[in-house]
Structure 1
Amino acid sequence: MKKSIITVSREFGSGGRTIGKTVAQRLGIPYYDKELVKQVALESGFDPKYIEEQGEFAPGKTHFAFSFLGRGVPGVMGGMTAADFLWTIQHNVIRGLADKGPCVIVGRCADYILKDRTDCLHTFIHASMDFRAHRIVRLYGESEVAPEKRLQDKDARRRINYKHYTDREWGMSQNYHVCLDSSVLGIDKCVDIILDLAENCPDTTE
């Protein structure tokens, strides 16, 4: 049974974006990451930079930070917080993209949003701290903040955001069809495994 829609959740610095983009290129199907941000911006009216940050990360370090966001404008956001309004738009955009046909979608709780579809392959990419630290320094450069701290902060905010909107634990294996360690397998092997699963995933619905 082919899985035509692939979601890629990932730890920061694990190479999940690279893996997702390569999978899409080899399959010849759309890849939604920055393009998804553009579509959400178009429908929500929010600045793309705001969406890129707040659409996947919690606004602070605790779950309670969500309650301190300002309320939306009645008639425009229905009184929802900006974060909740963004989630609603993002949710609808992701479902709409999946309805259009085969694609790869990176992050943004897509695994949860599309959890009821049988044509999806949900993946999670993780890696060792050392691998990820070296990778973000190579890709994004040095910072005043230690790379390990940058990784921990990003992942913590992503975990809180995921929990807030899905009531599930980010990175827990039960939420995905396959979890891959890119620091052990390598980027290319992760791509190969996902491609093989997408083409030959057993049909468990019978």
Structure 2
Amino acid sequence: MGNKIYTIGREFGSGGKEVGEKLAARLGIKLYDKELLQQAAKDSGFCEEIFENHDERPTNSFLYSLVMDTYSVSGYSSAPFLDMPLNHKVFLAQFDTIKKIAERESCVIVGRCADYALAENPDCINIFIHADMDFRIKRVTKDLDITENKAKDYIQKQDKQRASYYNYYTSKKWGDSKSYHLTLDNSKLGSDNCVEMILRFRELMDASK
């Protein structure tokens, strides 16, 4: 068996990253969130600021599938890669880095279409964390020190952005249960129980192989 990989998609304010952090700590493996941007910048030669500015940002242009086919053969130095829009370069560089990390070590990866990048990996479990809106508003209000109305608006904006990004690049639907192995409600379970559910799923999945 290969490295054990866990990808976590999450609604904004749902506590998905916290679940990922607890899962990584429990297993003694690394969590990649913003760290993935740093690694992708290092691997690709782009400056890290470019990745931060395009991080999980939606796009609405370019024939992605054609570019993906060409890129997979030719890599960063090819004319198609050099000629494509910057947001596509950023996505493909992250895509490449996610694959490299998964080959190198067991880990938890938060967001950035990691489930799509590792779709062919039999040892990858894809999780989506969601929660009630009231639960999310309370978390965001506290974390960002803003009013509940502003928190709700920000949540809706961030969810829309993440959904647009994911739906465009993966041709799947963000948050749809069919896109993941597990979808968990953190407002009902709590982060510790979400971790227990994920670990139990891993046990059952490995036992069925």
Instruction: Give the TM-score, by structure 2 length.
Output: 0.84
Q: Percent identity?
A: 40
Aligned equivalent of 2:115, options 107, 111, 118: 111
Aligned equivalent of 2:173, options 157, 160, 169: 169
Q: Which runs of 4+ in 1 moved over 6 A?
A: none
Instruction: State the match for 1:33 in structure 2.
Output: 33
- Name the CA distance, whole Å, in 1 between partners of 2:146 and 2:50: 23
Instruction: State the match for 1:101 in structure 2.
Output: 105
Distance change (3 Å), C-alpha of 1:43 and 1:145:
farther
- Name the CA distance, whole Å, in 1 between partners of 2:81 and 2:182: 36
- Name the CA distance, whole Å, in 2 between partners of 1:144 and 1:194: 31
Are the counterparts in 2 of residues 2 and 201 from structure 1 also a CA contact under 8 Å?
A: no
Is 1:157 equivalent to 2:187 in the alignment? no
Deviation at 1:202, TM superposition (A): 5.3
- Name the CA distance, whole Å, in 1 between partners of 2:189 and 2:148: 31
Deviation at 1:188, TM superposition (A): 1.4
Decide which moves more: 182-191 or 143-152. Answer: 143-152
Deviation at 1:51, TM superposition (A): 1.8
Instruction: State the match for 2:92 in structure 1.
Output: 88
Residue deviations 1:137-169, cap 9 Å, x none? 111221697111101110101111111111111
Instruction: State the match for 1:24 in structure 2.
Output: 24
Aligned equivalent of 2:137, options 121, 130, 133: 133
Are the counterparts in 2 of residues 3 and 198 from structure 1 also a CA contact under 8 Å?
A: no
- Name the CA distance, whole Å, in 1 between partners of 2:200 and 2:144: 31
Instruction: State the match for 1:70 in structure 2.
Output: none
Instruction: State the match for 2:10 in structure 1.
Output: 10
- Name the CA distance, whole Å, in 2 between partners of 1:121 and 1:143: 36
Higher helix proportion, which one?
2
- Name the CA distance, whole Å, in 2 between partners of 1:53 and 1:114: 24
Amino acid at match of 2:29: I
- Name the CA distance, whole Å, in 2 between partners of 1:159 and 1:179: 15
Amino acid at match of 2:83: G
Amino acid at match of 2:120: D
Residue deviations 1:29-83, cap 9 Å, x none? 111112111111223344434423523121xxxx53x46xxxxxx9695111110
- Name the CA distance, whole Å, in 2 between partners of 1:119 and 1:128: 30
Residue segments in structure 1 that go unaligned for 5+ positions in a row:
68-73
Number of residue-to-residue matches in the alignment: 194
Residue segments in structure 2 that go unaligned for 5+ positions in a row:
63-77
Amino acid at match of 1:182: N
Deviation at 1:184, TM superposition (A): 0.9
State the superposition RMSD in angstroms: 2.4
Are the counterparts in 2 of residues 4 and 198 from structure 1 also a CA contact under 8 Å?
A: no
Residue deviations 1:2-45, cap 9 Å, x none? 98111111001000111001101110111111211111122334
Distance change (3 Å), C-alpha of 1:183 and 1:99:
same
